[in-house]
Structure 1
Amino acid sequence: MSMPFYVPPEQIMKDRADFARKGIARGRSVVVLGYDKGIAFVAENPSSALHKVSEIYDRIAFAAVGRYNEFESLRVAGIRYADVRGYSYDRTDVTARALANTYAQTLGAIFVQESKPFEIEIVVAEVGRRPEDDQIFRLTYDGSVADVHGYVAMGGASEQAERRLAADWQSGMSLAEALRTAVDVLGAPPSEGAERRDLAADQLEVAVLDRERGRRSFRRIQGSLLERLLSPADPTSGTPASDERHPGHPDVLTGEDEPPAGSA
C-alpha cells in the first residue's frame, strides 16, 4: 500500500505566502497619504474604467493592488456590508475599523482554507473630523491588519516606496504637496541602476477623502485640476501652483473637474 504524500503545514503556509507576494509584486503601486484637509490616494493606473481606488461609504474609501477580479469582489462585499449596517443601525456605526476586521476574517479564511490565496493587498481609510482622527488600515493577503499613521505604499517595490515616504512626507502638507510627493515616489527607480519614470496625469488615478466636504467626502481628481495640482511651484513668484484650491473649494468644482453624478 502506498503512503500518502505529506507536506508540513508550515511549508504549505510558506508556499502560499510566497505565491501571493509574487503576484502582488507584479502590480503597479498605490500610495495613500494624509494631507492637511484629508487623505489622498494616488495609484499608477492608466485605465479609466478599472479603478484601484473607490468609495465605500460616507467617509470611507478603499484602495487595492493585485488581481483586479479578487479585490473587486471584496470592494463590492464591503459596500454591501456598509449599506446593510448603516440601514439597520445608524450611518455612524459604519467605520473603517469594523470594515477592516471583516475583510481580515475573509482574507484569513481564504488563505487557510482555499487552494489559492488572494494575490492582493488593500487599504481601508476613514477621514475624521480632525487630522488626528484619520484612520488608515492596511490588510495583506493572509488577513493581517496594520493600523498605519500618515502614509502607506502597496504593490511592487513597496519597501523602497515607504522608505522614500518616510523621508519626504510631513504632517500638514497641502494637497498639491502630497500629490507631488506621491508621484515622485511612484516614479522613483525600483532598484539601483534603473531609470526614473515621469508619470503624467493621464497615467494616474487620484482621489481624496476631504474632511471639509461634509458627509460624502470622497472625490476623484482628474483632468485640468489634477494637472494644476501636479505642476511645480512657479520659480518667479515663489508660490506653489493652486495649493489652496483643494477639491472642496467652490471655485474648483466646475467644468471637467466635476465628476458625473453617481461616480465612485
Structure 2
Amino acid sequence: MSMPFYVAPEQVMKDRADYARKGIARGRSLVGLRFADGILVCAENPSNTLRKISEIYDRIAFAGVGRYNEFDQLRIAGVRHADLKGYSFSREDVDARGLANSYAGILGQIFTHEMKPLEVEILVAEVGVEPAGDQLFHLLYDGTVLDEHDFSVLGGDAEAISERMSAAFADGLDLGRALATAVAALSGPDRTLSAAELEVALLERGSGRRFRRLDDATVAQLLGPDAAGEDDGGEPVAAVSGGDVAAGRGVAGATARTQPGDEPAPAPDGGAGDEPSDEPSDGAGDDAVPDDDAD
C-alpha cells in the first residue's frame, strides 16, 4: 500500500491564500470613507442589477469584492444575524463590531477547513451618532479583521488606490468632495469613470433612514456637469479622472468639457471587457456563476 503524499500545513495555507487573492484581484475595487455627515461607499460597478453595496441593519452597511455569489451569501447571513439579535435583545445591541466578529469566524472556518476558500473581501461600516463613533471593518478572505479609521480600500488594486486616497483624504469633507476623492482614487491618472460606471451609497448621520443609494443623476450632479458622460446637448464629455482631484481642482471643475466637433476621448487601453477581472476563474461552478466584476 502506497503512502499518501505529505504536504506541509504551511504550504497548504499558502496555496489557499494565493488562490483567494487571485480571485479577489479579478474584482473591481471599492472605497469606503468617512465624510462630514457620515460614511460614503463608492464602488466601480457598471451593472444595473447586481449590487456590491447593501444595507445590513439601520446604521450598518455591507460591501464586498470578489465572487458575487459568495459575498452575497455572507450579506444574507449578516442580515439574518442582525435581525435575530435585534429581535431577541435590542436594536441597540446590533453593531458593526459584533457583525464583523461573526463574519471573521465564518471566513476563518472556511479558509482553514474547506477545500476552497472564499474569494472575497468585505467591508462592514457603521455610522455613529457623532463622527467619533463611525466604524469601518475590513475583513480578508482568511477572517482577518482590519479596523480602519479614515477610509478602507478593497479589491485587486488596493495598494495603489490606498496611496491615492492617503494623498487626497482630509477630515470633514463634504459629500461632493468626498465622492470626487473616492472616484479619483478608483480611476487613477490614466482613465476616467462616469456616473454610470459607479455604485454609490451613504450612511447618513441624523436622517430618518440612514442608508441611502445615490442614482446616476445625483452622482453626476455631485461630480460636476460633465460626469454623466454627455452634456445637455448630447455632446460627449470627459468624466472624472484621478489627475483632476489630485491637481487640486474643485468638484465641479474636476472635469473638462469637449468642444463640439472634437472627437470623444478614447477609452483606456484594456476596457472593461478586456480586464483580467472579467475572465472566469478556475474554480468549480465558474460557468454558472459570474464574478462580481462581471456585474
- TM-score norm. by structure 2 comes to 0.76
Partner residue, 2:216: 223
- Superposed structure 1 runs of 4+ greater than 4 Å apart: 238-241
User: Which residue identity does 2:218 align to in structure 1?
Assistant: L
Equivalent position SS for 2:193 = coil
Query: Is the 8 Å Cα contact of residues 46 and 204 (structure 1) preserved in structure 2?
Result: yes
Q: Give 1:1-264 correspondences, 5 Å limit.
A: 1-188=1-188, 196-214=190-208, 216-231=209-224
C-alpha displacement of 1:47: 0.6
Query: Is the 8 Å Cα contact of residues 55 and 61 (structure 2) preserved in structure 1?
Result: yes
Question: Matched residues in 1 for 2:99 and 2:67: separation?
Answer: 20
Question: Matched residues in 2 for 1:225 and 1:202: separation?
Answer: 11
Identical residues among aligned pairs (%): 57
Partner residue, 1:255: none
User: Which residue identity does 1:188 align to in structure 2?
Assistant: G
Question: Matched residues in 2 for 1:232 and 1:179: separation?
Answer: 14
Question: Matched residues in 2 for 1:18 and 1:182: separation?
Answer: 28
Query: Is the 8 Å Cα contact of residues 232 and 240 (structure 1) preserved in structure 2?
Result: no
In structure 1, list runs of 5 or more residues that go unmatched. 190-195, 242-264
- TM-score norm. by structure 1 comes to 0.85
Residue by residue over 1:173-195, the C-alpha shift from the partner in whole angstroms, topping out at 9 and shown as x without a partner, is 00100100111011115xxxxxx
In structure 2, list runs of 5 or more residues that go unmatched. 227-248, 253-295
Please report the RMSD computed on the Cα atoms of aligned residues, expressed in angstroms. Answer: 1.5
Query: Is the 8 Å Cα contact of residues 35 and 171 (structure 2) preserved in structure 1?
Result: yes
Question: Matched residues in 2 for 1:218 and 1:40: separation?
Answer: 10
Query: Is the 8 Å Cα contact of residues 223 and 251 (structure 2) preserved in structure 1?
Result: no
Query: Is the 8 Å Cα contact of residues 52 and 65 (structure 1) preserved in structure 2?
Result: yes
Question: Matched residues in 2 for 1:161 and 1:240: separation?
Answer: 19
Question: Matched residues in 2 for 1:232 and 1:40: separation?
Answer: 21
Specify whether residues 240 and 154 from structure 1 end up closer, same or farther in structure 2 by C-alpha distance, changes over 3 A only: closer
Equivalent position SS for 1:167 = helix
Question: Matched residues in 2 for 1:219 and 1:41: separation?
Answer: 10
Equivalent position SS for 2:206 = helix
Question: Matched residues in 2 for 1:150 and 1:11: separation?
Answer: 35
C-alpha displacement of 1:37: 0.2
Residue by residue over 1:99-144, the C-alpha shift from the partner in whole angstroms, topping out at 9 and shown as x without a partner, is 0000000000000011000000000000001111100000000000
C-alpha displacement of 1:223: 2.9
C-alpha displacement of 1:212: 2.1
